[in-house]
Amino acid sequence: MNSSTSHLSERYGPVAQSLHWLTAAGLVGAFAIGLIMVEMAFSPQQLRMYSWHKWLGVSLWALVLVRLAWRWWRSPPPLPATTAPWQRHAAALTHWGLYALLILIPVSGWLMSSAKGFSTVLYGVFPLPDALARDEALGDRLADLHWVLNKTLLALIALHVAAALKHHFIDRDGLLWRMVPGRRTIGARNP
């Protein structure tokens, strides 16, 4: 096996890369809509934004299930041999924490909507069954949980991005390039 081939085996494939970046784009959209909609006065536009936020949440939930299935079928490439054991554990905990939150947050939103008496109609066509009976107090507690889970997700995303940038700019181990589409090889000396 030549060095070019060994570099290729260390990269995420195009499906994993696409799923990663679709998830990232969806999260940017969901966070942006979520932050805007809660500051708006009650209006038809606010209700539309709540619907879009729910649609993105359900879509991201489904996308994460596809990502997990793909990860099970196609194991991620190993970390560089130079990665310290504590960094391996931190990376694993962070990744699994991200997956857990990406599953729990949409579920908490669905439960919250149900408890507050607002049905979720996916893409304005497919009604999801209400998961809970209407209970305003429970809905408020679920709203708090949804907010805390989202803040936790933002903290893990910041940690994930910081680690990727540390590997790129400080360690210069090529780790960041494994998830960037279009690069043929990775490594510390690649531009």
Domain span at residue 16 reads 3-179
Q: Are 131 and 110 in contact (CB under 8 A)?
A: yes
What integer pLDDT is reported at residue 189 of this predicted model? Answer: 44
The β-bridge partners of 121 are 127
Does residue 185 lie in a domain region? no
Which segments of 10-135 does DSSP mark as H helices, in order? 14-39, 44-73, 85-115
> How far apart (Å, rounded) are the C-alpha atoms in residues 19 and 24?
9
Using alpha carbons, select from 6, 23, 12 the residue that is nearest to residue 178. 12
Q: What are phi and psi of 42, to 5 degrees?
A: -60, 125
pLDDT tens readout for residues 131-144: 999 999 999 999 99
What integer pLDDT is reported at residue 184 of this predicted model? Answer: 57
Count of structural domains within the chain: 1
What integer pLDDT is reported at residue 183 of this predicted model? Answer: 66
What's the pTM? 0.88
Average of per-residue pLDDT values in the chain: 90
Does residue 152 lie in a domain region? yes
- Strand runs (DSSP E) across 44-188, as ranges? 121-122, 126-127
Give the mean pLDDT of 150-169: 96
What integer pLDDT is reported at residue 111 of this predicted model? Answer: 98
Residue 17 has pLDDT above 70, yes or no: yes
What integer pLDDT is reported at residue 83 of this predicted model? Answer: 86
> How far apart (Å, rounded) are the C-alpha atoms in residues 100 and 105?
9
Does residue 186 lie in a domain region? no
pLDDT tens readout for residues 50-81: 999 999 999 999 999 999 999 999 999 998 88
**CATH code, 152:** 1.20.950
